[in-house]
Amino acid sequence: MAVTAEAVKTLRERTGAGMMECKKALVEANGDLDAAAEAMRKAGLAKADKKASRVAAEGVIVLERSADGKRAAIVEVNCETDFVAREKDFQNFASAVAKVVLEQRPADVAALGEKAIPGGQSVEETRRVLIAKIGENISVRRFQIAEAPAVVGAYLHGTRIGALVVMKSGDDAVAKDIAMHVAAINPARVTAAEVPAEEVAKEKGIFIDQAAQDPKNAGKPRELLEKIVEGKVRKWLNEVTLLGQPFVKDDKQTVEQYLKKAGGEVLSIVRYEVGAGIEKKQEDFAEEVRKQVESAKKA
């Protein structure tokens, strides 16, 4: 099948491999990006699997926390351009929505739309009025409420990345430190035990396939190869889990070691990044200009 230049570009960004290797892998995988990336990793062609969510939509992440620090809300509100994301009315709307989420605890985004913002109008009515005023599509994409026995750590990096950390024990300073780490490093889980068995098995299989292609391992049985890659699996688990990662404020110790010294225990984490997982339409600027010129001629 035909492979587009955009698909090759995306695979290069995810794997760090060369253009021709990416194109070949996509052809062999019938255009399936995930299958091509995995095949390249097994073949040892991928330098790194940058399978990060594609950030495309604009907007802001907003945090709101209760006075006692035991409850907090994180909300993502989207718009079309970065210019609007910096606009005061838009940011005030996002802040008001976060307050509604924390105080009224809606079940989902649809229910949130029916809740009243201070001033009388519902979230949905306010959103529509703002769209008419600003001239861009605006949406409340998602939210989450966190509650903790001890404290909820909250950290906002600018307006684009936010994190909440539910603490079973530990003070506010420790909770904020961990929230900062989560925002910066983006761990997938808290502990290695939380990583699904199928994910571990998949990663282990990739490491085994890589080891089998190493000439020095030629002829070695799979049982031996499994022992050889045990260290790689452990290292990978540490890289993707909070407790195994080097602490962002002191990389000479892991987060787990920091927490033990500080007397803190983490139950769960939440991290939002503006537009994560949303694919943005690729705009052709030259084509857009051409259309505008043609439209002007017809007018």
pLDDT for the residue 210: 87
pLDDT above 60 (res 56): no
Q: Which residues contact 234 (CB under 8 A, 6 or more apart)?
A: none
pLDDT for the residue 289: 57
Query: In degrees rounded to 5, what are phi and psi of residue 252?
Result: -85, -5
Which residue type does 93 have? F
pLDDT above 70 (res 17): no
Higher pLDDT, 35 or 150: 150
Residue 38 DSSP SS3: helix
Domains of the chain: 1-51 (1.10.8.10), 58-190+267-273 (3.30.479.20)
pLDDT for the residue 16: 65
Higher pLDDT, 263 or 281: 263
Higher pLDDT, 287 or 232: 232
Beta bridge partners of 151: 167
Q: What is the pLDDT of residues 80-109, one digit of tens each?
A: 889 999 999 999 999 999 999 999 999 999
Q: What is the pLDDT of residues 124-134, one digit of tens each?
A: 999 888 888 88
pLDDT for the residue 44: 62
In the structure, what pLDDT confidence band is assigned to residue 277 with cuts at 50, 70 and 90?
confident
Tokens 């409420």 found at: 145
Burial of residue 246 (CB within 10 Å: 0-12, 13-18, 19+) is middle
How many CA atoms, within 13 angstroms, populate the side-chain half-sphere of residue 298?
A: 6
CA-derived radius of gyration, the chain: 23
How many CA atoms, within 13 angstroms, populate the side-chain half-sphere of residue 75?
A: 27
pLDDT for the residue 51: 35
Q: What is the pLDDT of residues 60-86, one digit of tens each?
A: 999 999 999 999 999 999 998 899 999
In the structure, what pLDDT confidence band is assigned to residue 297 with cuts at 50, 70 and 90?
low
